[in-house]
Structure 1
Amino acid sequence: MSFDDLAKNLWPFLLKYLPLESLARVLTPAITQFQLNQPRIWGNPARFINKNTINCCNILINTRCGTVTIEPDVLVGHNVSLLTGTHNYKKRGMSRIKNVPAESHRDIVVETGVWLASGVTVIGPARIGAHAVISANSLFFGNVESGWIYSGTPVVPIRKINFED
C-alpha cells in the first residue's frame, strides 16, 4: 500500500473515531513547529539562495524583484523580513498592485556570520557585511560594513565589534 493510499484510508478513520478538537490538539504543536522553521517565500523560490546552516525562525523572503542570498552561519531571529519587492507608486488601484517589475535588481545579500535579530526588516537592494549585527525591530536598506552593530529605523552604526577570537 502506498503512502497516498494509506492517507486516503486513514483520514476517514481518524475523523470518525477521533473528535476533531482532539486531532487538532495532537497535530497543532508539530505543524506549528514545522512551519516556524520553514522560510516563507513570496515570489520565485529559485531566487532564494540559502547557504545557511542555522534554522531560520518564521522568516519572510520576498523574491519578486531580486535574489536573496543567505551565506553560512547566519543567525536569524523571529519575524524577520527580507524584501526585494516594489511597486510603481505613480500608478493607482489595481494597476499599482499588478505593476511589479520582474527584474529590478533589488538583490539582498546576507554575508557570513551576520545576526539579524527578531523583527528586522531588510529592503533591497542591500548587502549586510560579514559578522554584522542588526538589532531587534530595525529597518535596513543599503549596505552596512562588516563587524559593526547597527540599530534603528533606519539603522545607524552603533559601534565596531571587538571580537574575542
Structure 2
Amino acid sequence: MTDTRPGDDIAALIEAKVAAAVEQAVREAVDRLRWAPRVYGDERKLHVHPTAVVNDALFNLSSGEITVEEYAFFGHGVSVLTGTHDITVFDRARQVTVPKSGRDVVIGRGAWISTNALVLGPCRIGEHAVVAAGSVVLADVEPFTVVGGTPARVLSTISERPGGTA
C-alpha cells in the first residue's frame, strides 16, 4: 500500500496544470521573439503599415526613419539600416559619431524584400519592386523592378499588371 496524504491528488493536478501553462507561455514567448522584428534606436522612427509583413527583420533607426508601406513583405533575416559611422575619425569617436537624420528608407507598397537582403539608407524601394535574396541595396530601386546582387543592380522589370491588382 502506498502512503498518500489527503490533497496529494489535488496538488499533483495543480502542478501539472501550472507546468502546462508555463510551457505554453514559454513557447509563445519564443515564437514572438523568433518572428518579431528587432529594432535598434528610437521606435517612433519606424512606421510599418498593418498589412506589411516584416518577419524577423532588423531595423536600425540611428540615422533616419524607416517606412514600410501597405502589403510590402520581407523574407527572413532582412536588415534595413539607416545608421552609418564617420570613417574620417578614429577609435571611440568612430564608434559614436553617427548622424541623427538624413538616411531615411522607404519600402514601397507591395515591395518584396527577400531573405537576408540588406537595405542601406538613404534609399527608396519602389512599389511592387523585388529585392533578390542576399542582395545589398545601396541606392533607390524603381517601382516594378527586380534587383539583385552585391551591390544590387537591375535584373529585370515587372509588367505593372501581370494578372495581379497593381
Q: Could you tell me whether the CA contact under 8 Å between 1:40 and 1:60 is conserved in 2?
A: yes
Separation (CA, whole Å) in 2 of partners of 1:24 and 1:78 = 28
Alpha-carbon distance, 1:82 to partner: 0.4
1:164 corresponds to = 163
Alignment of 1:43-62 (within 5 A): 43-62=41-60
2:110 pairs with 110, 113, 121, which one? 113
2:32 maps to 34
Say which is worse superposed, 154-163 or 57-66, in terms of deviation: 154-163
Equivalence map 1:1-165=2 (5 Å): 27-103=25-101, 105-162=102-159, 163-165=162-164
Query: 1:52 Cα shift?
Result: 4.0
Q: How many residues align?
A: 146
Q: Which moved more, 1:105-114 or 1:24-33?
A: 24-33
Contact 2:53 2:71 in 1 (8 A): no
Once the two structures are TM-superposed, the CA of residue 37 in structure 1 deviates from its matched residue by 3.1
Q: Would you tell me which structure has more strand in proportion to its own residues?
A: 1
Q: Greater CA deviation, 34-43 or 139-148?
A: 34-43
The answer to whether the Cα contact below 8 Å between 1:52 and 1:74 also exists between their aligned partners in 2 is no
Q: Given the two structures, how large is their TM-score scaled by the length of structure 1?
A: 0.80
Percent identity over the alignment? 30
TM-score (norm 2): 0.80
Q: Which runs of 5+ in 1 are unaligned?
A: 1-16
Q: Given residue 33 of structure 1, which amino acid in structure 2 is its aligned partner? A: D
Question: In the aligned structure 1, how far is the partner of 2:22 from the partner of 2:149?
Answer: 40
Q: Which has the larger Rg?
A: 2
Q: Which amino acid aligns with 2:147?
A: Y
* Alignment check: 8 A CA contact 1:67 1:107 kept: yes
Residue deviations 1:32-85 (CA, integer Å, cap 9, x gap): 211133221111111111114133211100111000000010111111000000
Native 8 Å contact 2:52 2:68 kept in 1: no
Give me the whole-angstrom Cα distance separating, in 1, the residues matched to 2:22 and 2:146: 43
The residue matched to 1:143 in structure 2 has which SS? Answer: coil
Distance 1:24 1:127 in 2: 44
DSSP 3-state at the match of 1:142: coil
CA RMSD of aligned residues (A): 2.0
CA–CA distance in 2 between the matches of 1:141 and 1:52?
Answer: 26
